[in-house]
Structure 1
Amino acid sequence: MLGRRVRARWAAGLLGVAISGGGLAATPASAEEAKDSESQYSYMAKLDIGGQRSCTGTRVDFWHVLTAASCFADDPAKGFHIPAGPPKLKTTVILGGLGGADLSEKPARVEAINLVPRNDRDVVMVELARNEGYLSPGTVPAKSDVTLARFGHAQDGEKPHRLQTFPVRLGQVKDTTVDLIGRKPTDTAVCEGDTGAPVHKQTSEGLELVAINGPSWQGGCQNVPATRVDDIQDWIANAGSNFVLSERSWDDARLLTPGYFMGQPGRSRMDLFVIWKDGSASLFQGNGNSDTGAPFAAEHKLAGSGSRWKDARAITGGRFTDQGGAYGTDGLVVRWADGGVTEYTYLDQFGTHDEKTLRAGGGDNPFWKNARLITTGRFTENGLRDDLLVVWENGSTSMYTDIHSKGLSGWKQLSKADKTWTDATQIGTGAWGHSWEVDRVLVQFSNGQTTMYPLPDGDKGWEFPNNIREAGSAWKNVRLMTTGVFADAQYRDPTDALIIWNNGNVGLWPRIDREGTHGGIELVVNGSPR
């Protein structure tokens, strides 16, 4: 399924083991034997770069292939340094069919749209266009061989679309490269199309990636060192993620809300649902890695311009049942332009599910057209984020409890009309690093003041404000703000604020609490990742 990120295992410390053991012994294998086990290698990819050269790659998740940066260099003989961004030449990535690694059978051809190179070694992450269905990397049986797998032109005339595998030993290890030793020199010779091919170890837990083939310079078959990837695991995991937000112009974001739409609390960070000014909608998938500066793994485009989402006027994510959907646990509440209010019990990468009308739109009663800001919170005993907090146009505030079971009948006024709340521009809820039984509300005002409130008790209104940003602060330049779990997947309750500034930059303020903010991270600056 498309939403589930699948990744080959990285070989931590594998090269050190090989050195101390004097190398890994080779066992008989050949290009012919690869035909009998092709289904093991469905993670393999072949790259056609402008029809001028070809390379081999490794699929490391649904959106990215790892290969050699020199594949994209103007002159690979002069070095591997290339600029980040779209490839200069149209690049097609060819993925094998379910039946195996013969690319002449049921290939999927996907365009490469972005390159993320490293500067210290011959490695690049190739981002794939996201309008195709992809195959998941295959599960590899347990073996102890270290294997070189490739699609290039073999010296014996093997067709380039047929996978070849060769057992190798690991020789001299340097900072960024490692020598490969085969049974005979031709086993490790890099021919045209072999650049970027993976060297892997098979274990009881699956595939471990050790290195990738160095450049052949497209000039015959040569023995060259392979490029190490065992020591850059974090970079590989995060390289694609760093570009997810910067591929969008955040000046165009109109509404946004977080939720566990595709993931589970404690396993991944919250996803982010965004409605754009042209009426299109996207779901940004929360990341499971440890990089605070890469909160999202991928963008899933849910609707094109002019869709029904153009009529949404306020949105909020929430958890409305304790069952969970096919992927995540959370859904969405929408206040529409005609005053209608809809609950979608679940939202995921395929759209909305289990629609429930909480309030019909149109008619003579425009009451809900006056709902200016909405957010869900955990304010009642069931522990779900299914209580709806509303800020009305006149500055009054209300709460509707347990909306999934009660609809909009569980109404309670929290405060009467008050000019203070007419100046509120954004609201969110969270635990803010504490074990409160109910959430507290974070309110951002037009003058830059940002205040944390406990829920009102009785008819006393909003008491005990705790300012985390004072009036006149830089937060007066906030255009959109939402609160959620964006910095650390281990947190289950919202503690972070994601901010879209008036200039289109995107910032993240992790682990806000009663003491205030504790430093922010700029995720997108002038359209570029941090």
Structure 2
Amino acid sequence: MIVVWSDGEVTLYPGDGKGGFLPERRLQAPNSTWTHAETVTGGDFTGSDLSDLMVRWSDGEVTLYPDVSASGLSGEVQMAPSGSMWKNAIQISAGQFHNGKYATDLMVRWVDGELTLYTYVGAGTFGTENRLLAPNDTWKNATLLTSGNFSGKANWDVLVRWVDGELDTYVATSTAGLGAEARMRDPNDLWKHDLVMTAGNYTPNGFSDDLIVRWSDGETTLYADTAYTSLGTENTLVYPAS
């Protein structure tokens, strides 16, 4: 798991394969550059055995860091220049939405509520653009968005936390459109405090169905083996500050 801190520090927490993490490895010391990282996601865009990190910066630049490891970040590839339309990309999330093998696709929610899926993303190219939703008011309220394989299907699912705390999964999303909507949580006050949400493969079952949430009080929770209609087993990774 990659973490970007408020002071610009970037750290890697290697997974132990059992739902926990090994000691952190610092990839970047605190710095002013990384304080401008607005949204990040990890995927396999370069076709190697290591995951890559995609970053959208505050000025609209998008960069790809191939093959991130404990050795650090290297080989920066510019995907979009400063001042580009990507300044309006509120959330980005890598996943597998074209019945392929690797997470080479990029889901993007724009500031106007438009939802776009880019398939076959690679170093220096966003691949093929597929509009899933035209600009709309409803998806302006999609506060958080992540991708994972919660349903066990060939195409991954999109998990959305709405402004009222509701959680919905869009099962087996593809270039043809969003998958069928499945309710995971009704509107509630608790999930309004979910500030960061990401999914990955942190447990032995081999699926990217483990959900990690960082709450407003600093508590960080892993929901292991989450299904598309229900949260998985809750494990506290970091307790809130006393």
TM-based fold match above 0.5:
yes
Tell whether the 8 Å contact from 1:449 to 1:473 is kept in structure 2 after alignment. Answer: no
CA distance in 2, matches of 1:386, 1:278: 30
Cα deviation digits, residues 123-178 of structure 1 (max 9, x gap)? xxxxxxxxxxxxxxxxxxxxxxxxxxxxxxxxxxxxxxxxxxxxxxxxxxxxxxxx
Cα deviation digits, residues 67-86 of structure 1 (max 9, x gap)? xxxxxxxxxxxxxxxxxxxx
How is 1:463-478 mapped onto 2 (pairs within 5 angstroms)?
A: 464-478=180-194
- State the match for 2:8 in structure 1: 279
Q: Please tell me the residue identity of whatever aligns with 2:220.
A: V
Q: Please tell me the residue identity of whatever aligns with 1:422.
A: K
Tell whether the 8 Å contact from 2:97 to 2:174 is kept in structure 1 after alignment. Answer: no
The alpha-carbon deviation at position 426 of structure 1 amounts to 1.6
How is 1:149-188 mapped onto 2 (pairs within 5 angstroms)?
A: none
How is 1:181-220 mapped onto 2 (pairs within 5 angstroms)?
A: none
The alpha-carbon deviation at position 525 of structure 1 amounts to 2.0
Residue 395 (str. 1) matches residue 99 (str. 2): no
- State the match for 1:188 in structure 2: none
CA distance in 2, matches of 1:383, 1:311: 32
For the residue of structure 1 that corresponds to 2:79, the secondary structure is strand
CA distance in 1, matches of 2:127, 2:16: 37
Change (3 A) 1:457 1:335: closer
Tell whether the 8 Å contact from 1:321 to 1:384 is kept in structure 2 after alignment. Answer: no
The alpha-carbon deviation at position 356 of structure 1 amounts to 1.7
- State the match for 1:62 in structure 2: none
Cα deviation digits, residues 8-62 of structure 1 (max 9, x gap)? xxxxxxxxxxxxxxxxxxxxxxxxxxxxxxxxxxxxxxxxxxxxxxxxxxxxxxx
The alpha-carbon deviation at position 512 of structure 1 amounts to 1.1
Change (3 A) 1:408 1:451: same
**RMSD (CA atoms):** 2.0
The alpha-carbon deviation at position 463 of structure 1 amounts to 5.3
- State the match for 2:170 in structure 1: 453
- State the match for 2:89 in structure 1: 371
How is 1:100-249 mapped onto 2 (pairs within 5 angstroms)?
A: none
CA distance in 2, matches of 1:524, 1:513: 23
The alpha-carbon deviation at position 395 of structure 1 amounts to 0.6
- State the match for 1:439 in structure 2: 156
Change (3 A) 1:349 1:395: same
Residue 333 (str. 1) matches residue 77 (str. 2): no
Change (3 A) 1:495 1:394: same
The alpha-carbon deviation at position 521 of structure 1 amounts to 2.0
Residue 481 (str. 1) matches residue 202 (str. 2): no
For the residue of structure 2 that corresponds to 1:422, the secondary structure is helix
Higher helix share: 1
- State the match for 1:512 in structure 2: 226
Q: Please tell me the residue identity of whatever aligns with 2:66.
A: T
Q: Which runs of 5+ in 2 are unaligned?
A: none
CA distance in 2, matches of 1:386, 1:456: 13
CA distance in 2, matches of 1:310, 1:406: 23
Identity %, equivalent residues: 29
CA distance in 2, matches of 1:390, 1:431: 17
Higher strand share: 2
For the residue of structure 2 that corresponds to 1:368, the secondary structure is helix
The alpha-carbon deviation at position 332 of structure 1 amounts to 0.6
- State the match for 1:298 in structure 2: 23
- State the match for 1:320 in structure 2: 45
Q: Please tell me the residue identity of whatever aligns with 1:395.
A: G
Q: Please tell me the residue identity of whatever aligns with 1:351.
A: G
Q: 324, 327, 349: which one pairs with 2:70?
A: 349
The alpha-carbon deviation at position 407 of structure 1 amounts to 0.6
Tell whether the 8 Å contact from 1:428 to 1:482 is kept in structure 2 after alignment. Answer: yes
Q: Which runs of 5+ in 1 are unaligned?
A: 1-271
Count of aligned residue pairs for this structure pair? 241
For the residue of structure 1 that corresponds to 2:122, the secondary structure is helix
CA distance in 1, matches of 2:24, 2:165: 30
The alpha-carbon deviation at position 397 of structure 1 amounts to 0.5
Change (3 A) 1:526 1:381: closer
Tell whether the 8 Å contact from 2:226 to 2:233 is kept in structure 1 after alignment. Answer: no
CA distance in 2, matches of 1:431, 1:409: 22
CA distance in 2, matches of 1:524, 1:405: 34
